[in-house]
Structure 1
């Protein structure tokens, strides 16, 4: 499964940023909610880990909002990380890049914030629960985990409704048939969980002050504090 996901996103790297705004209805609110949940002063010298960082889109928002943050970007796709390297090529040592399968590989260092956007839903449920526990262990006391994620509906009927409404919305936003077909092809690898299950797994991992700040169709943004 990991190899299949890697190949799919290697192939998608070139078009990923171009299509993101049309494929995520409420794009600005979605990413803004993720930044708002990193509740540190904006001049903090944060150490941030971005899991499934892709082309560095979420990292770019964090870097702008926290200009002294140091960000490590991890992704299974080397092609995605090459795009991230190009995005931040003038930024020097603020950014690090690691090709790694974070679903199984250990988190070696301690961080003030661990973040992810539209990535963890590729893991199976047991892997998600294990990852949440490892993230909790990798955070400094008072650190935050923020996940801007794709979720299943609480019932098959709600999931089908949200998925159909998502397709309607992205067509209204102007996504073309080729980009929509490519997105649907990548979604074949999705193993999304319900929002309710994910919040419960955060509790089981030891997180506190758990909060969902954004929900729109198949998308949600939530956090937990260590």
Structure 2
């Protein structure tokens, strides 16, 4: 587990992701606003697919976190996070989301642009693991790419996404390369399937938090 499975290496990730995903910073603000609204205290927070620690940075700035656990399958990403957050209330776990074995431990679990790399049964296992890892009334918050309902809709949204990337400084070739990853390197599911998956994994509350372009934020409460 020496490298991540995203489109970018650990060293370039933070710069490239903003060139690629519209409203990327908004994902994290939406998470913070939701957690604050749930009135959870003395938080134990797990961020799966933590990357370089963007979620932790925003959480520590805005919310009282008693313990923050970083989890990633990339040792390079985890090392960057360790260097950024050498705090006594942090923990670092090198593992895939499908390998989580925690039980009733966390108040908040976040997964930002993580599960769309998984096939459907793998995704189900990952979400079920997150459910098991939450305490009662804990919340799971996920931001993912999603699949439009029609082929025409997909083609239009992908072209829109390509134009956004070019406006952010990517070349046409770079943008085309990223767009070509759809259903090849990552495997989006529809909004209906996203919601059904959380319900099937026994979350008692399932809601859409935010949506734009081909990205959606969803959450479930145990």
What TM-score results when the alignment is normalised by the length of structure 1? 0.86
Which residue in the other structure is 1:81 paired with? 78
Quickly say closer, same or farther: Cα 1:155–1:69, change in 2 above 3 A. Answer: farther
In 2, Cα distance between the equivalents of 1:180 and 1:75?
Answer: 26
3-state DSSP of counterpart to 1:14? coil
Once the two structures are superposed, what CA deviation does each residue of 1:168-224 show, in whole Å capped at 9, x if it has no partner? 112123335686477457664212222210111111111123111211111111101
Shift of 1:54: 0.9
Q: Tell me, what secondary structure is at the counterpart of 2:111? A: strand
Residue 24 of structure 2 corresponds to residue 27 of structure 1: yes
How many Å apart are 1:67 and its aligned residue?
A: 3.2
**Alignment equivalent of 2:185, drawn from 185, 189, 192:** 189
What's 2:60 paired with?
63
Q: Structure 1: 5+ residue runs without aligned partners?
A: none
The structure in which a higher percent of residues are helix is: 1
Residue 8 of structure 1 deviates from its aligned partner by 4.4
- 1:127-172 Cα shifts (integer Å, max 9, x gaps): 1112222222221111000001111222332222222211111212
Gaps of 5+ in 2: none
Distance 1:10 1:217, change over 3 A: closer
Whether the 8 Å CA contact 1:49–1:114 is kept in 2: the answer is yes
CA distance in 2, matches of 1:17, 1:186: 19
The TM-score normalised by the length of structure 2 is 0.87
With CA pairs under 8 Å and 6+ residues apart, which has the higher RCO, 1 or 2? Answer: 1
Distance 1:177 1:155, change over 3 A: closer
1:88 Cα deviation (Å)?
1.4
